[in-house]
């Protein structure tokens, strides 16, 4: 079952041919926002070890509200008094991407960054001067625009990104 899904089992008892019969109804629903603890439990349930670097990486990702590059992640590891090598970080990031816990975000054409996959769909404001990144939610119905583009261009859109570049309040 994908991470972020919860299961509820509803039990009802009915009489069928003079016997009590228990009926189960399973309800699965997606909860977008998951906690760090839920992710750790999910990985443990799948038989993965909770390494200090993996736990620290999860802590870093949950405590930062913007997509992070590997150099930024390494700096934040230093703040935690940990010094894993870059290969370990890339390996942990790839593992968390495969487990659908992190997603790769490409900003500025080729700058790879990573953020939690459980975040609600959003876009970014990027400062051209200090390179700060802020998450934003666009209130316009992009699904309608996407469907229109698909129809008009006979094109199946698999994903999209939308970034706005300019100057943040500290730089203008």
Q: CATH 3.30.1490.190 in the chain: give the residue spans.
A: 121-172
Going along 31-149, which residue ranges are E strands? 102-107, 111-116, 123-127, 133-136
Handedness of CA 130, 135, 140, 144 (dihedral sign): positive
Note the CATH number of domain 34-120: 1.10.10.10
pLDDT tens-place values along the chain, 172 residues long: 445 544 444 444 455 555 554 444 443 434 445 788 888 988 998 899 999 999 999 999 999 878 999 999 999 999 999 999 999 999 999 999 999 899 998 877 678 999 988 767 778 888 889 888 887 877 777 888 889 999 999 999 887 778 888 999 999 8
CATH 1.10.10.10-classified regions of the chain: 34-120
Is 164 in contact with 140 (CB distance < 8 Å)?
no
What is the C-alpha separation between 166 and 163, in angstroms, rounded?
Answer: 10
> Could you tell me the CATH superfamily of domain 121-172?
Ferric-uptake regulator, C-terminal dimerisarion domain (3.30.1490.190)
The answer to whether 133 and 94 have CB atoms below 8 angstroms apart is no
Tokens of 126: 């990027």
57 with 93: CB under 8 angstroms? yes
Question: Which pTM does this prediction carry?
Answer: 0.68
């Amino acid at each position: 079952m994908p991470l972020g899904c919860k299961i509820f089992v509803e039990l009802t008892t009915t009489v069928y041919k003079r016997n009590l019969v228990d009926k189960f109804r399973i309800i699965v629903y997606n909860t977008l926002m998951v906690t760090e603890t839920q992710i750790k439990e999910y990985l443990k349930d799948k038989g993965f070890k909770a390494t200090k670097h993996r736990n620290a990486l999860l802590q870093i990702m949950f405590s930062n509200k913007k997509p992070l590059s590997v150099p930024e992640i390494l700096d934040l590891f230093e703040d935690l008094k940990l010094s894993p090598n870059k290969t370990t970080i890339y390996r942990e990031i790839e593992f968390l991407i495969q487990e659908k816990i992190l997603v790769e975000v490409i900003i500025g054409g080729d700058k790879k960054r990573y953020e939690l996959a459980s975040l609600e769909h959003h876009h970014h404001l990027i400062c051209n001067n200090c390179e700060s990144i802020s998450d934003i939610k666009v209130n316009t119905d992009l699904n309608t625009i996407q469907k229109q583009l698909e129809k008009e261009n006979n094109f199946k859109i698999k994903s999209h990104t939308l970034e706005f570049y300019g100057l943040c309040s500290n730089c203008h």
